[in-house]
Structure 1
Amino acid sequence: MSSSAVHSFNKLLTKPKYSSKSKATEVDDDSNLKKLRRLILIEGIPSTSDPTLRPRIWKILLRITNLSSDKYLGYVSRGPCHDREKIRNDTFRTLATDKGFQERVREDMLIRLLDAYVWRNSEKQEDMNHLDFCYVQGMNVLAAPFLYTMPSEIEAFFCFAKFIEECCPLYVQPTLEGVHRGLRLVDKCLKIVDPELFAYLRSKHLNAELYAFPSILTFCACTKPLDQVLLLWDFLLAFGVHLNVLCVIAQLLLMRDEVMSSPSPMRRLRTFPDLEALPVIGIAVTLVRDLPADLYDELVRHPYEI
């Protein structure tokens, strides 16, 4: 990644922050956000050249404005939450094959963050608009990129909370409603963008529920390597997590020939190949243009609209 890309990001990030008192500043802030998204799409975040960039950008994209260490430490001080057994059943295997993750993120950090989140929401239920934010399958994997990326556990906690409550609240309900909506949308969108592949999978009695559940549940964080997952999440946080549906389809299209030539395609689909974020993002962006407006609108709304 060139030093010019680092300079472009840093120049944009040092501009005055948004002030609600000024309409002019509000317009300027929106303009800067569009520039930031464009840079992410064209250049990618040069995190190896400047490791501070990704955490700073993720906090901007998630609109993180309050990082209260007292609040987080207060939740942690309560000890194990009522979901601790379920949490412990998942945390030990979180990104277990990724050496870099295992070296940077200890299991106790993940357990502590998830315990704190359950405590936080046990006292906020009346404000959650009929949504239930107890611990559910997949939360451990969704928390992992934040713990890996953020400089502190406190920052990871508040980013994780904002992400699941505002970007994809239906994905973390006890029924996993958003996940099942996303899986149905994989089938709907695939039928339009590649009817031949869709028909072949259906002829083998395969739908997205059978082969795409982990990828939809975790926004592809279950697919190695982690550095490619982070690149994909840069894109999803910038343009919307709903696009993960198209990113899953993009991965299918990248292995299309192998799937179509296999008499038992589920063997190929059981484990997706290593993630290559840039080709996946490129295909996903192209697929947006192929979708009817009403279907794209459904795609946008599916992670959060009750």
Structure 2
Amino acid sequence: MSSKPSTSDTAKSFNKILALPRSSSKVRSAADLNEAVKKLRRLILVDGIPSAADSTLRPRIWKILLGVTELSANTFLEYVSRGPCEVREKIRNDTFRTLATDRGFKERVREDMLVRLLDAFVWRNYDREDSQRLGFTYVQGMNVLAAPFLYTMPSEVEAFFCFAKFIEESCPLYVQPTLEGVHRGLKLLDRCLKIVDPELFQYLRSKNLSAELYAFPSVLTLCACTPPLDQVLKLWDFLLAFGVHLNVLCVIAQLLLIREEVMSSSSPMRLLRTFPPLEALPVIGIAVTLVRDLPSDLYDELVRHPYEVVDR
């Protein structure tokens, strides 16, 4: 009977994938990177990132999954040197309460670090060409999306470039002024729930509860609003590896884990106002199985909703 590999063995497996090929001391080819990403995804799904055994793993893996290869401290410092951006007041209205109940986060990430990163992001996109179809500024929820990067990365420079790449490529529609991607995700959550658990869907509808009412924070922040942070990071390992669209199914998974209580409650919104503490492994396990239950056209729509601009 085979036993689960130890965390140190798993860490060695990750480090072996992350090591540069012998043919090059500095640069990986595109084929090398693609192969590494495939292996990383499989290990993340099967074993998870053993960050306790090697604290350098998660930041290195996130950078590879995001495709962040260039880190220019001068560029970041140039943005910072410009001072407060035009929406600094809006940023400061949110940053002080970011993950406010998490002592570990507050000890590692100061508010001024969050403000600097978000200011720099606004300045970065202030310089973008007008021809870009999507513009970026600071919007609600961006402070919480930045938090895991500042907590995980060894430096503000790395956190900034990972955050910027993540926002601009993985979920740009989630941070438009109208939060278009978030509202699409909430509608898709209702449609997916109706298929995977029609009884629960109908019960919530009988109480006039749609995803817009109970799941907005979880979709907006990719579940980063639900403590504890160590479980959020494990969930984000999965989302960065396989796609942020899967967060919609992760929210449904959290619903299914408290299904019995919800179905027996005459006022389920009281339960859903604050989800129970996040448990990443069961949530990921359920989300993966839910994929198989969805029609291919609906799943395709789910995949595209965080980034595909739809012409009207």
Query: TM-score under structure 1 normalisation?
Result: 0.96
Equivalent in 109, 112, 116 of residue 113 of structure 2: 109
CA distance in 2, matches of 1:11, 1:67: 23
Q: 1:203 aligns with which of 178, 201, 206?
A: 206
Pairing 1:56–2:60 present: yes
Cα distance change on mapping 1:197 and 1:17 into 2, 3 Å: farther
The C-alpha deviation readout for 1:106-158, integer Å capped at 9, x for no partner, is 0000001101111111111425x321201000000000000000000000000
2:197 aligned with 1:194:
yes
Deviation at 1:99, TM superposition (A): 0.2
User: Does the CA-based 8 Å contact 1:114-1:140 persist in structure 2?
Assistant: yes
Structure 2 residue 150 is matched with structure 1 residue 147: yes
Paired with 2:123 and 2:23, the residues of 1 have a C-alpha distance of 32
Taking the TM superposition and a 5 Å limit, the aligned residue runs for 1:112-261 are 112-126=116-130, 129-261=132-264
Q: Matched residues in 2 for 1:16 and 1:100: separation?
A: 36
Q: State how far apart, in whole Å, the 2-side matches of 1:224 and 1:35 are.
A: 29
Q: Among residues 87, 90, 95, which one is paired with 1:91 in the alignment?
A: 95
Structure 1 residue aligned with 2:39:
35
Distance 1:32 1:114 in 2: 31
Q: Which amino acid aligns with 1:283?
A: I
The verdict on how the C-alpha distance between 1:17 and 1:173 changes in structure 2, with shifts beyond 3 A counting, is: farther
Please tell me the residue identity of whatever aligns with 2:11. V
Report the residue type matching 1:10 in the other structure.
N
SS in 2 for 1:126: coil
C-alpha displacement at 1:27, in angstroms?
A: 3.9
What is the one-letter code of the residue matched to 2:199?
E
Task: State the SS of the aligned residue for 2:15.
Answer: helix
Contact 1:132 1:174 in 2 (8 A): no
SS in 2 for 1:200: helix
The alignment status of 1:291 with 2:287, answered yes or no, reads: no
* Cα distance, 1:33 vs structure 2: 1.5
Q: 1:272 corresponds to which residue?
A: 275
Q: Deviations over 1:213-246 (max 9, x none)?
A: 0000000000000000000000000000000000
Percent identity at matched positions?
77
Residue type at the aligned position of 2:18: L
Instruction: Find 1:7's aligned residue among 2, 8, 12.
Output: 12
Q: CA deviation at 1:29?
A: 3.3
Corresponding position of 2:307: 304
Residue ranges of structure 1 left out of the alignment (5+ in a row): none
Of 81, 84, 93, 1:80 maps to 84
- 1:32 CA displacement: 2.3
Aligned partner letter, 1:122: Y
- Secondary structure of 1:142 counterpart: helix
**How far apart are the structure 2 equivalents of 1:274 and 1:146?**
21
1:65 shift after superposition: 1.1
Report the 3-state secondary structure (helix = DSSP H, G, I; strand = E; otherwise coil) of the residue aligned with 2:223. coil
Residue-by-residue CA offset, 1:59-108 (whole Å, 9 max, x unaligned) = 00000011010110000001100000000000000000000000000000
Q: How many angstroms does 1:2 deviate by?
A: 2.2
Change (3 A) 1:168 1:297: same
Distance 1:17 1:121 in 2: 38
The alignment's TM-score, normalised by the length of structure 2, stands at 0.94
Q: How many angstroms apart in 1 are the aligned matches of 2:293 and 2:89?
A: 45
Change (3 A) 1:249 1:89: same
The one-letter amino acid of 1:175's match is T
Aligned residues: 302
Name the Cα RMSD after superposition: 1.6
